[in-house]
Each structure stands twice: as structure tokens, then as C-alpha cells.
Amino acid sequence: MKNKRITALIAIFTFMTSFNLNSPLWLFVVTFLFYGVRMGLFQSPNNSVIMSSVDQQFLGIAGSVNSLVRNFGMELGVSLSTIILL
């Protein structure tokens, strides 16, 4: 089951690299909607597992580190894609 999910995610990313200025808008919307739903379905259980594995006194720190890593990853992704595409 896990391999199918990874394969589907790789297929979506590969498909997204084929977009260009002439690609229809509906294709962007459908692809990014599917990607957003998959990420949303991942984030909630992932956060629950992380927060449930931490002692009560460290919940604030764990939430902060989780948010920091997520935001850093997004910013790094935007920066790298900008460098590659420009």
C-alpha cells in the first residue's frame, strides 16, 4: 500500500513538470487540488502521531518544531524551484 502511494505521488510530480504556458487552466486546478487533498490527508494524522509521542510538558516545543520544519521545507522548495526555473 505504501509503495502505491509513493508511486502515485511521484507520478503527480512528474506530470506537474510537463506543465507549460499553454497548458489549460483546468489541468492545473485538478492536479493541484488532488495534490492538496493528499497533503491535507497526510498532515493531520502526521501531526497527531507527533504530538501523541511527546510528553505533556513538551507539547508546545514539539508543535513549534513541527511547524518550523514544515515552513522551512515549503520556503526551501519555493526558493529552489525559483532558482531552477529562472
In a shared domain, residues 19 and 49: yes
User: pLDDT at position 1, please?
Assistant: 61
In a shared domain, residues 42 and 80: no
In a shared domain, residues 35 and 73: no
In a shared domain, residues 41 and 66: no
Residue-wise pLDDT tens digits, 52-66? 999 999 999 999 999
Full domain range(s) for residue 17: 1-53
In a shared domain, residues 45 and 64: no
Residue-wise pLDDT tens digits, 1-39? 667 777 877 887 787 777 888 888 888 888 888 878 878
Its pTM surpasses 0.85 = no
User: Helix 25-52 and helix 2-16: axis angle, to 10°?
Assistant: 140
* Domain count across the chain: 2
Residue-wise pLDDT tens digits, 37-86? 878 888 888 888 999 999 999 999 999 999 999 899 989 988 998 888 77
